[in-house]
Structure 1
């Protein structure tokens, strides 16, 4: 059984829930199964998470924290920073069950729509801020606004990783995200920066 310490127990329950949500989805996963996977009683689980919804929201919150941490690049090039961040998130999708589960249940279950919407609004706002820096530095063209670029990149990446999951279990995720960036660099980067940024894509995903 998991140690009674609240922090360790909570983390074990969130990880166990993520494993079940990632494998089975929100509807099919059971509290009894999650409790068994966490090594705690159902009563102990319910004291921390009164409902399955509260447990799912905890998984989504932890997924948010882990994916936002991937935006920690300090590269002076705004677009290079985004490219590197997307590699970090792709790595998490392939290796971190909490990230995979949080994204899966946030997209599949209507009762979590509010939390999901808030997550994507935060992501879009953060990416828009980076695109504003890119516009100001002359890396990207001004024909499309930073707001439009941010609102496009986030769903583009989401769609790439979802299709990769369906087609190959994300085995082709890295080359798929690299192709996404090659398309974007050719489409929106100012010509003097294209070769350098394509080199960043190659180095990041090569």
Structure 2
């Protein structure tokens, strides 16, 4: 059981979100209860209602926190745009394996139409960010411009989402890292310029410990 958190400040709110994420990830939105979240967080139901008026508000808080944690994984600092995106996807895959908030946020975004507005905006942001990376990759000569950056971004985001969902259903994400690595190897062979292909395949191998093709 978590240590009870006193007061009404950000520590208590964070404890509630963390406990709620575990409950949502384990049971789904419908089966999770305010009482169960309060017990898991080590707080009273009144303390939960001070921060969140409804269970839906808690779920939206989890989704917002998940968005923040996953977006933080994507930066434009890497000199190789596509290499940076590969590494970012490895970071996000690691969060899916280790962070209940990220797992719960993804589950909530896909299982309940109540959250479609918030999650639609989240995926729009993700696609826009990945499109920006592919634009940089095209400009750097890493990616063959035959397929537009817009088409690549709009494809890679749902592809990654599908890979992690199928991994969750089939293997409780035990095969997530090799599955995402295979996704990147296929993409690299399909659209990366020959001059950059070996280097980027090596990035994928290092990130996901993929066996040689």
TM-score between both structures, scaled by the size of structure 2: 0.95
Summarize deviations over 1:72-106 as a string: whole Å, max 9, x none.
36220011011000000000000000000000011
Q: Deviations over 1:1-47 (max 9, x none)?
A: 32114111100000010000000000110011001111111111111
Paired residue for 1:147? Answer: 150
Take 2:61 and 2:174, find their aligned partners in 1: how far apart are those partners?
Answer: 27
Aligned counterpart in structure 2 of residue 28 of structure 1, from 27, 31, 40: 31
Structure 2: gaps (5+ residues):
none
Equivalent in the alignment of 2:87? 84
The total of aligned residue pairs comes to 206
CA deviations 1:101-147 (Å, max 9, x no partner) are 00001100000000110100000000000000011111111111100
Check if 1:44 corresponds to 2:47: yes
Q: 2:57 — aligned with what?
A: 54
Quick check: 5-14 or 150-159, which moved more?
5-14
* Structure with the higher helix share, 1 or 2: 1
In structure 1, the residue corresponding to 2:67 is in which secondary structure? helix
Whole-angstrom CA distance in 2 between matches of 1:44 and 1:5: 7
Give distance in 2, aligned partners of 1:55 and 1:5.
15
What pairs with 1:56-135 in structure 2 (closer than 5 Å)? 56-72=59-75, 74-135=77-138
**Comparing 69-78 and 86-95, the one that deviates more:** 69-78
How much is the aligned-residue C-alpha RMSD, in angstroms?
A: 0.8
Please point out which of 183, 186, 198 is paired with 2:186: 183
* Partner Cα distance (1:139, 1:73) in 2: 15
* Counterparts of 1:109 and 1:139, CA distance in 2: 38
Structure 2: distance between partners of 1:136 and 1:21: 42
- Which TM-score applies when normalising by structure 1? 0.98
CA distance in structure 1 between the partners assigned to 2:114 and 2:154 by the alignment? 23
C-alpha separation in 2, matches of 1:43 and 1:141: 57
Q: Hey, which bits of structure 1, 4+ residues long, moved more than 2 A?
A: none
Q: Which runs of 5+ in 1 are unaligned?
A: none
Task: Tell me, yes or no, if the aligned pair for 2:76 and 2:133 is still in contact at 8 Å.
Answer: no
Cα pair 2:164 2:173 within 8 Å, conserved: yes
